Structures are given as structure tokens and as C-alpha cells.
Amino acid sequence: MINAISALLHPRRFVKKKWVQSFGDYESKIKHGLVPRPNYGYCLYNAAKLAVKLGYKKISAVEFGVAGGNGLLNFEYHAEQISSILPIEIEVYGFDTGEGLPEPIDYRDLPYHWQRGFYKMDVAALQSKLKRSKLILGNVSDTVGGFFEKNTPAPIGAISFDLDFYSSTKSALAILQGMHAFLLPRIFCYFDDTIGCDLELYNDFTGQRLAIHEFNGENEDIKLGSPYYLPHSGHTGLWLDQIWIAHLFKHPQYNTFISEQVQQLPLQ
């Protein structure tokens, strides 16, 4: 239905998308949102472009809430494609309990929608399919703290937060407070549980949205904000409103110039 409406309202754009979908290369498909999980592709591709402009040779992608593992495998797919067109290597890390959701702490974890044990992982089956990802198993409140010291990851540029709970998301956000050597100055983040439908009824006082608001209130030099251009970029899908950018204002490369060198406008 959405595609039919789009074809009627924007026929040229629709025809171009169909052509790109059939004949376009990976980079063209990314720009038109025509890749598997375009939210993951958008975050990792743009993180890689930023990293290259800043002179990095390697970055990391992180998924919080691996569950069955399809998202982590999708990050691997995008990492492989991106490394084939940009001079960047990409590591992938996945955080999960391995045992499914823990017990909700209180109403903020939305126990009317989530229950203990949802999304349990078949660890052995997933491990056999992973090519470059490293699983970090355990409660995120325990595993995030020592992550950098134990793994010395390449600077993180893209993160998917899909832990469902307020409490787990709040713990996971601590990763943004790590040493700047392990982080890009702007990090592309996807928060899965921020839109929902008339069943979840996500709001600013529970779940992931509460965790985001609290994090912003507690951190003067790190803020999560929406990329306001994105819903007007020609893409379609709920994911456009599920993207946040983490701005690390005190990062030594936050103010490094990355735009076009020549921006003079001639007098007509």
C-alpha cells in the first residue's frame, strides 16, 4: 500500500528506486534504503564514512540484544560490503544474556509487554554462523563495565540498542561514557523499542525513551539527539524515527572539519 501511494505521489522517485533495487550497487542501495535492515546499513555506512574522513582505519559496530542472531549477522553483511568499498575494517560485537530477557525491575521495563525468558539464544547455533562477530554474554549491567579493557575494540561508530527494557538500555548507554580512544566523536545509534504500536504504547516515561531522556539529563558532554533531516531524506519506514546520534562534545575530534573545503557562492 505504501509503495503504491509513493508511486502515485512521486513517480520519478519510485521508478529510480525500482531501477536501483534491480541494478544498483551496494552504495546506491544504501542511499535509497534498499538493503536488508536499512537501519543497520544506514548507521554502519555513515559511521564508516565519518571514520574515513577522520583518518581511522578500523571501527566497531555493537548490537545490544542479539536474541536469535539475525541482527548480528546483518551487521556482518553490512560490514563486509562497506569494507569492500571504503578503506576501513569493521569489528562487530554482540551483547546478550544468552538466556533471554531477565525479570523486569518494575513498570519502567513494561512488564505488560515483556516477560522473563523472551528471545533466548541458541548460542552454539549462532556461533557456528558468525564470521567476524564476538559475543559478549551476561547481564549487560555486568559486561559493559569491563568491555573496553577486556576487548580493546576499534572505535565504536554504530550501535543498535534492542534490549527492550528501560533498565537494560540504561545500563547499555554507559558504553557511550567510555574513553574517547574507543569511540567516534559522533556515533550512529538505532533504538528498536521507541515507536511500537497501540499495544506497546511507548512513551517518554518508560522503556527506552525514558532511558534516553535520563541519559541526556545526566551527561553534560554527551547527548543523544535525532538527525532531523532523516525523515525528509526520501527514505520510508519507521526506522527513520528510531535513529539517534550520540554527540561526544569533548571528544578530541568532535570539531575536526569534515565538510567540503570550498563553499563560496558566486554572485549571480
**Torsion-angle region of 232 (φ positive above 0: left; ψ -120 to 50: alpha; else: beta):** alpha
Bridge partners of 94? 63, 135
pLDDT in tens, 47-66: 999 999 999 999 999 999 99
Q: What is the pTM of this model?
A: 0.90
Is residue 23 included in any domain, yes or no?
no
Look up the CATH number of the domain holding residue 187.
Answer: 3.40.50.150
Is residue 1 included in any domain, yes or no?
no
Q: Which one is predicted more confidently, 63 or 27?
A: 63
Measure CA 262 to chain center.
Answer: 31
Q: Which one is predicted more confidently, 5 or 196?
A: 196
Is residue 7 included in any domain, yes or no?
no
Please state the domain count of the chain. Answer: 1
Is residue 84 included in any domain, yes or no?
yes
Measure CA 148 to chain center.
Answer: 19
Is residue 165 included in any domain, yes or no?
yes
What are the cell numbers at 243? Answer: 535513529
Residues 172-196: what's their mean pLDDT?
A: 97
Is residue 19 included in any domain, yes or no?
no
Amino acid at 92: V
Average pLDDT value for the chain: 91
At which residue does the C-alpha cell 580512544 appear? 181
Q: How confident is the model at residue 5 (pLDDT cuts 50, 70, 90)?
A: very low
Q: What distance in Å separates the CA atoms of residue 77 and residue 159, rounded to the nearest whole number? A: 15
Q: What distance in Å separates the CA atoms of residue 150 and residue 158, rounded to the nearest whole number? A: 20
Is residue 83 included in any domain, yes or no?
yes
R_g of the chain computed on alpha carbons: 19
Is residue 24 included in any domain, yes or no?
no
Residues 179-204: what's their mean pLDDT?
A: 97
Q: Residue 80 sits in which domain range?
A: 38-248
